[in-house]
Amino acid sequence: MPFDLQSRLAARRAEHLYRQRPLLETPQGPEVVVDGERLLAFCSNDYLGLANHPEVIAALRRGAERWGVGGGASHLVIGHLTPHHELEEALADFTGRPRALLFSTGYMANLAAVTALVGQGDSVLEDRLNHASLLDAGLLSGARFSRYLHNDAMSLAKRLDRAVGNTLVVTDGVFSMDGDLADLPALCATAKARDAWVMVDDAHGFGPLGASGGGIVEHFGLGIDAVPVLVGTLGKAFGTAGAFVAGSDALMETLIQFARPYIYTTSQPPAVACATLKALELLRREHWRREHLNRLIARFRRGAEEIGLTLMDSPTPIQPILVGDSARALRLSALLRSKGILVGAIRPPTVPAGSARLRVTLSAAHTDAQLERLLESLAECWSRLSEEAPHA
């Protein structure tokens, strides 16, 4: 019969790849209630602990009282409200670029930027481990699409030699499942030598990276000449929702005129923009958040090494524990949950086959004591998983 959905679902279960949505019954934070169970969570992208910050909540409330709830229309009709405009100006200042353009989601921002810049007769080259939204954008653009080896400037150079038309090199800033950084200096130099533009999706870099939280371009000291197209999301370290593209005036006008995901969608609620303005203020002012987060990252890596866990090469709040087998990753996650610790198991196709992992994410909202509890629980659960291995 056509559309045999049950067989597809059964196969996914048999491969230990079936996904289920945990129901969060409290606001984001280290201590949460999920599916009726009180847990200590290490799986949120709320890196700076701003998603439930009282000042951000107050800004959202005041914004709703002043500007209402819905955006009402697309930005180009009558949905571009004053808070949207003020947030775009603040993000431009934050990134040190002439302008920024606001989007409702990071997926939309990536689709918009790639498809507006390249098409048939052009080339788009992407890192093999790029986020799904970037890969989808490259495929949908109609340009000649090629993927270079992860973080490999030499592999990129070989593909650039075969590129045609306008050429866009696209990479994550921080790779969301590994936590490692793009080698932007080498990638940008390689692209510049061949007159290609570089686009960076720094969804996970803004906030944790850089002296002022300006992300990977600030971390490496790169400007708009090296990275003409810079994308950031607002639902992670900013603690709210939405995304933006920052760059030149000509780039912003090009997106406004040609980017279908921008033109044909309703703007985000203006109150969310008000909340993001407050979150941006806190991100820039409260440096202690990054400092505390960096101490937690260093302590976690030392503790995990002592336990004998296999970590990825990550200096960021994303600290994956490589397990390999999907069933074992699920089992380790379940053992931790039995001790009141919530860490999600990440399996294919999100990550390559044979590289299932637990994706630990740290937040400035976590305390030192909570991190020590995670490490103690990991030591006990890893030991138990190792004992079970011969019988798996």
Q: 């790029």: which residue's tokens?
A: 130
Catalytic pick among 75, 80, 84, 204: 204
The verdict on whether omega for the bond into residue 98 sits within 30 degrees of 0, i.e. cis, is no
Catalytic pick among 176, 333, 355, 377: 176
B/e letters for 23-58, b = 16+ CB within 10 Å, e = fewer, are: ebeeebbbebebeeeebbbbbbbbbbbbbebeebee
- Assess whether 158 carries a catalytic annotation: no
Catalytic pick among 75, 131, 219, 236: 236
Residue 232 tokens, joined: 């950031």
- Assess whether 204 carries a catalytic annotation: yes
Q: Is 144 helix (H, G, I), strand (E, B) or coil?
A: strand
> Which are the contacts of 232, defined by CB distance < 8 A and separation ≥ 6?
91, 95, 202, 203, 205, 206, 215, 243, 244, 246
Half-sphere exposure of 136 (CA within 13 A, CB side): 10
Report which of 259, 225, 257 is spatially closest to residue 119, judged by C-alpha positions: 259
- Assess whether 366 carries a catalytic annotation: no
Cα separation, 204 vs 208, whole angstroms: 8
As annotated, the active-site residues are 176, 204, 236
